[in-house]
A and B are shown apart, each in its own frame.
Chain A
Amino acid sequence: MTATAAKMKGQAERFRLPGIAGIGFAGLLFVVLLLVNVYLNPERFLPHSWGTLIGLAAPLISAALASTPAILSGRGGLDVSIGPLMGFVNAIVVTIIIAKWGLAGPVAVWVAAIVIGAAFGAFNGFLAAIVRIQPIVATLGTYLVLAGLTTTIVPSPTGTIPSWFSGLSGAWSFIPLLVIGLLWFALTRTPYYTALMATGSEDRAAFTSGLNVTLIRFLAYLVGGVFAGIAGLSLTALIGSADPNIGETYTLLAISSVALGGVSLAGGRGGFIGATIGALDIFLLQSALIYFNVSTFILQTAYGAILVLAVASTAMQKSSGGRDL
């Protein structure tokens, strides 16, 4: 038993490193796409545009980061409700917190977003970890509930946001990302992170060495929910209104980003840096293709091709490095 625990600890320490090997292809793609983008449109990448640029990328990056903890927790861990949760936060904040209750200040808005995110994250965690419904099914249920509620509250795009809020997609666009980043960084300094990675890579061993696997998994969904709440703020700042149709689209993009960034969908492998680079890849790809003014169809075709290529080449890198028997 001590041997397993030691082995797990060793693995967890290995995973703590960002792991350049794991994000090789995605990292390379990032550099190439960045160069292409800068070459095409240098104006957008000058320091004075950084705020706007980050504001454009922030919803996808934070959606990817929100998807990561559940995936890391292993055994099919996955939260497909991240996108609709962002959309729900967007709808509630704009139409209820700001418009109906008149609470337009930053404190009320941030608290509302985080509370909503945490509540639904906890709900998903309850279903997946405690009731033990397969995560994809449980969060699919939540997905449908949230998407349905959002459309009921906001049948069509509506509402406005105060100017400080719009600033979160401009000069202050780094704030939500920074908050998520700091929260995650703080988590990696706690034993919880080691426990999460151990659970994700080998849950039976984690369980037999005395970890509370149920609680660890529950918290992973809770953390993801909080991040999704903050992602909802970035999204709201960017679109400047309540829109029932945008949130949902982030689910599959976020999962793609995470996979692209070398986070193993089997759990226990990968991290935040990988997920961020994966999201940046998709964002830069998007913006390069939009610059060419190509149809969204080409964009979609390119997404698909690059996603498959990226995961395949990452896997081949790993297998050429020797498969352990």
Chain B
Amino acid sequence: MGSMIAILRRQPILGAVLIAVLLYFFGLASIDGFGSTFTLRSMLILAALLGIASVGQTLVIILGGIDLSIPFIVGFANVVAAQLYGNGMNFALVCLIVAVLALAIGAFNGALSARLGLHPLIVTLGVGTFVQGAVLLWTAGFPSGSAPQYISNFVSIGGSIGPLPFPGVVPAFLVMTLAVAFFLARTPFGRRLYALGSNPPAARYALIDPVWMWAATFALSALFAAIAGVLLLGFTGSAYADVGKPYLFQTIAAVVVGGTALVGGRGSYLGTFVGAIVLTEINTLLIGLGFQPSAVQAALGAVIILLVSLYGREAHLREQI
């Protein structure tokens, strides 16, 4: 047991994968229909939505920050897209507008935090609160509109692509995961992200511009949150400014369960991918076992603590001197 934990600590993704597999078999053994196509499909869709919303959180945490504006940007994109599309605007244009606004908000978050040395937690919280308030004001609290049919089909529980028994968002999520992992490993931006997160003072001597990096990374985070918001519009069918609320902490949980430490410079999106799956499995499992939503929430909290204490512990101070 002890040596297993040691391995998990060195290879946290492996730990997360192991837990995902164990949870799956536990579900098969304890709940009728856990292995059914329907359950599997809905888990994959939910994991995909969480995974997409968590891309930005992963990047930002590798950079050594944290982004609390994700739920607000999710809600913002959700409502604005629905509203504009409902007003008869071309959906491609709608997406462009939402994307540009999200990028701008994110860039502001990052640039302000880095330029003035502010804690991103407060900046993103303030900016997010502001953005959501503005959206609510604009729609007077009653957003209307919906997503075009093809977006709904793309994420629908009943959807399928060709012979495959799941909607487009599932393979898209897999492709996106590989793309993000490749992006982090093989682009100058990806490597600078790790370097800056690993040692900010050294980064400036290596010609890495922190303000630009923070602005770009938080902009990307907002962009992915916006994508999740638009997809959620297709998933739920109608706009709702608070739709992103669960993602406030779930994105952080997915990153951490995936083995990425909050200290910066370490971690990977593959971990977050597994983390999103683990969280979705636990949720489905607990609901399947007949827990009330409130009990599911409590159990989820306990499980996060348990998992992270298995392999997400920080080094003792004496090892950091």
Contact = CB atoms under 8 A, between A and B. Distances in A.
Interface of A: 76, 78, 127, 131-134, 136-138, 140-152, 155, 203-204, 207-208, 213-214, 252, 255-256, 259, 264-266, 295, 297-308, 311-312, 315-316, 319
A203 B321 CA distance: 10
B301 A141 contact: yes
B169 to A, nearest CB: 26
B136 to A, nearest CB: 4
B118 A145 contact: no
21 contacts: A78-B121, A134-B263, A137-B262, A137-B304, A140-B249, A142-B301, A143-B249, A144-B301, A148-B294, A151-B294, A155-B294, A295-B140, A297-B133, A301-B133, A303-B130, A304-B130, A308-B122, A308-B123, A308-B126, A312-B112, A319-B116
A259 B133 CA distance: 20
Contact of B129 (A142, A151, A207, A300): A300
A303 B130 CA distance: 7
Query: Which 6 residue pairs of A and B lie closest in terms of their CB atoms, listed nearest first?
Result: A148-B298, A304-B130, A144-B301, A301-B133, A300-B133, A151-B294
A299 B119 contact: no
A237 to B, nearest CB: 25
B321 A208 contact: yes
- Residue in A133, A142, A308 with the greatest tally of chain B CB atoms within 10 Å: A308
B276 to A, nearest CB: 16
Given A132-B316, A145-B302, A149-B298, 4 more contacts: A76-B262, A146-B298, A208-B321, A307-B125
Interface in B53-86: 66
B318 A142 contact: no
Contacts of A299: 133
Contacts of A302: 133
Interface in B186-227: none
B313 A301 contact: no
Interface in B81-95: none
B251 to A, nearest CB: 11
- State the majority secondary structure of interface residues on B: helix
B29 interface: no
Nearest to B262: A134
A312 B118 contact: yes
A144 B133 contact: no
Given A145-B302, A208-B321, A299-B133, A265 B121 contact: yes
A298 B298 contact: no
Nearest to B131: A304
Interface in B277-321: 292-302, 304-305, 308-309, 312-318, 320-321
A265 B305 contact: no
Interface string B116-144: 11110111011111111110110011000
B256 A134 contact: yes
Contacts of B253: 137, 140
Contacts of A149: 294, 298
A308 B261 CA distance: 27
Nearest to B119: A265
B253 to A, nearest CB: 7
A198 to B, nearest CB: 13
Nearest to B129: A304
A218 to B, nearest CB: 13
- Residue in B132, B297, B318 with the greatest tally of chain A CB atoms within 10 Å: B297
Nearest to A142: B301
A77 to B, nearest CB: 12
Interface residues of B, number: 54
A256 B313 CA distance: 27
A145 B294 contact: no
Nearest to B122: A259
A142 B303 CA distance: 10
- Residue in A146, A155, A300 with the greatest tally of chain B CB atoms within 10 Å: A300
A132 B318 CA distance: 13
A147 B249 CA distance: 13
Nearest to A206: B317
Given A133-B313, A155-B294, A298-B133, A265 B318 contact: no
B45 interface: no
Contact of B317 (A78, A213, A315, A319): A213
Contact of B256 (A137, A155, A204, A264): A137
B252 interface: yes
Given A297-B136, A312-B112, A147 B297 contact: yes
A148 B317 contact: no
A213 B300 CA distance: 30
Contacts of B316: 132
A295 B252 CA distance: 31
Contacts of A295: 136-137, 140-141
Contacts of A146: 298, 301
Nearest to B124: A308
Contacts of B296: 148
Given A148-B294, A255-B121, A297-B136, A207 B317 contact: yes
A91 to B, nearest CB: 11
B314 A147 contact: no
A259 to B, nearest CB: 4
A311 B316 CA distance: 32
A145 B309 CA distance: 16
Contacts of A127: 305, 309
B317 A203 contact: yes
A125 to B, nearest CB: 13
